[in-house]
Chains A and B, each alone.
Chain A
């Protein structure tokens, strides 16, 4: 385990959204914007924006990292751009009113089916089912998160059926 791997997640987080130069073993060097650092392997995920709108992603594995030098801070625009790189594709953009309606419809449907659901988070955007599964906007099967696989697949199936009945 090298010094980089021994850092805490809070240390690694300080490098996210910054332009860095990573010096790896065998004289390799990588430069780019830090998207994230994997807590399991301490691997650094870097993004480099090319001229033709393409993004080159480089992942330097934690065990190969010797030194990380911060070159630049990312501004808000860059942070936004970086956070969207891996974001799941949204095929439709919903307005806030539409999202609110979708959320309330889904919440009512879950309650009539005797499934405990609460609203959570800032402005109650997130639905929380039985305290173990969360649903983010736009409240489809893809937006469900849970640490319990069985509940996750059950609820995804329910929501899928519910949405199909709607259309």
Chain B
């Protein structure tokens, strides 16, 4: 006896990297095409930003914190989740800290010079 089997309908469309699915097909474009262009733009913006972070590394930087506080330091790195900056040689009224973390939420802006 033939038993009817429920059809499993998955909410997502075909992924481009799977065998047999074509990212240029009309179905893929209709379901996920808009996300692809937005993702390409997002990736491009992010790549430029990351190159900027790479260029900042090792340069003397001025950080503008809240309540008009400014501190100078040597730019170290920024983390992937945008939580903190790592800096070297942070000049504070209490002296120079060899290494420090500045929280993203405390920093309003920072500037550095490029030749």
Which A residues contact B (CB, under 8 angstroms)?
Answer: 8-10, 12-13, 16, 24-26, 28, 30, 35-41, 43, 45, 50, 53-61, 63-64, 85-88, 131
Q: Is A10 a contact of B111 with CB atoms below 8 Å? A: no
Q: Is B38 a contact of A59 with CB atoms below 8 Å? A: no
Chain B residues numbered 49-71 whose CB sits less than 8 Å from any CB in chain A: 49, 51-52, 54-56, 64, 66-68
Contact of A64 (CB < 8 Å), options: B80, B81, B108: B108
How far is it, in angstroms, between the C-alpha of A57 and the C-alpha of B111 when the chains are bound? 5
**Nearest chain B CB to A145 CB, angstrom units:** 9
Q: Mark B87-115, 1 if CB is under 8 A from A, else 0.
A: 00000000000000000110111111111
Q: Is B82 a contact of A57 with CB atoms below 8 Å? A: no
Of the four ranges (under 10, 10 to 19, 20 to 34, 35 or more), the interface on chain B belongs to 20 to 34
Q: Is A10 a contact of B38 with CB atoms below 8 Å? A: yes
Judge whether B46 is part of the interface by a CB distance below 8 angstroms.
yes
